[in-house]
Amino acid sequence: MRIGELSKRTGVSPRSLRYYEEQGLLTSSRSDVGQRHYPDAAVQRVSLIRQLFDAGMSSRVIATVLPCVDLPDDLGVADETFTTMTRERARIDADIAHLIETRDALDVLIRANSRHRAELSAVPEPVAPSA
């Protein structure tokens, strides 16, 4: 498939797909006129790349991790990527813990705001004196 179709099927812009190629995250073949052509498996590959980006990984880290997907039976590759993957998992766990703390702090503020709004709505509106 060409870059436009891959973009349509994945929801990722052609510009991002070209960037993925520049970073070594995605590969394509070229036609005689230089058009990029991707295999059907590229859809799943782009989905994985997006998921890793969404988790906060940089393209450099993703490039370090992807060989374990490409060469799952290579012990050397598995060993090389293990440290990176465990480090990224620890970072994500720390991010999750921070998000939970932030959500809990917001819950406290929401409860306080709800009580305050209830108190304000219980106060009768002042009546204007009649003339």
The Cα–Cα gap between 29 and 14 comes to: 15
Q: Which residues contact 7 (CB under 8 A, 6 or more apart)?
A: 13, 14, 17
Give 1-57 pLDDT, tens digit per residue.
999 999 999 999 999 999 999 999 999 999 999 899 999 999 999 999 999 999 999
Whether 126 maps to a domain, the answer reads no
Give domain status of residue 129, yes or no: no
Per the domain annotation, does 81 fall within a domain? Answer: yes
Residue-number span of the structural domain to which 103 is assigned: 3-120
- Tens digits of per-residue pLDDT, 53-101? 999 999 999 999 998 887 778 888 888 889 999 999 999 999 999 999 9
Query: pTM value?
Result: 0.73
Whether residue 127 is contained in a domain is answered as: no
* 125 assigned to some structural domain: no
Is residue 131 in a domain? no
Q: Tally the domains of the chain.
A: 1
CATH code at position 111: 1.10.1660.10
Paired residues of 30 in beta bridges: 36
Q: Does the residue 128 lie in any domain?
A: no
Q: How far apart, in whole angstroms, are the C-alpha atoms of residue 5 and residue 66?
A: 23
Range list of β-strands (E), 15-60: 29-30, 36-37
